Amino acid sequence: MESNKQGSSDSFWARIRRPSTKYSVLTLAAVFFGIGMLFLGGFNAAMDVVGTLEFCGTTCHEMRDTVYKEYMQNIHYKNRTGVRAICTDCHVPRPWFQKVWRKGTAGLDVLVGKATGVVDTPEKFEAKRMEMASIEWKRMTASRSIECRACHDFDAMDPKRQKPAARQKHDAARQEGKHCIECHKGIAHKLPKEYKGDSEEEE
């Protein structure tokens, strides 16, 4: 019986490796290219759907009842310029491979959290806020705030339009090689009650 299974397996792989007698290499390459493009297109379309503000903010009540409400009162949601940064702008890098990795790992975390009910009430969320914020701050520190810098750049800033305190701090940060999250914790979401460090609000 074992030898029959081995034989059928060998026969299958032999058929797979055998050159096609019906189709040219160009035809086969075009078919596989088309399948690959359809897969990538579908994958990117799915990534776009799960990256919308509506999906991030309203799909899970854990987000809707906590950080989403905070975000809607924040300058990233509504401001004098009309430029809106949504969840993925801050939490997902723009380079494709980094984006796929981040969405995959974050999605897995959300599914595990959903299944275990670790933050399924506002009280549980508050109890875990410092831990979750620390993980996010650490990730953004490792990337030198790459998500923030996709929109905010020292070279694009007009110091004359900034308040004197903000201008002074930005000048110092630039000279010291600092990046956004080192000073701007608590911008989009409220700081955990356990947080003891310094944080600058929007200037």
Scored b (16 or more CB within 10 A) or e, 64-81 reads: eebbbeebeebebbeeee
Cα-based distances in Å from 178 to 24, 32, 167, 182:
57, 47, 14, 7
Look at 35-44, 58-67, 133-142, 179-188 and tell me which has the smallest mean pLDDT. Answer: 58-67
Q: What element of type H or E holds 20?
A: none
Residue-level pLDDT at 203: 43
Mean predicted confidence (pLDDT) in 20-41: 84
Scored b (16 or more CB within 10 A) or e, 138-167 reads: ebbeeeebebbeeeeeeeeeeeeeeeeeeb
What are the pLDDT digits (tens) for 83-114?
899 988 888 888 888 888 888 888 888 888 88
Mean predicted confidence (pLDDT) in 8-26: 70
How far apart CA 75 and CA 77 sit, in angstroms, is 5
Task: State pTM to two decimals.
Answer: 0.72
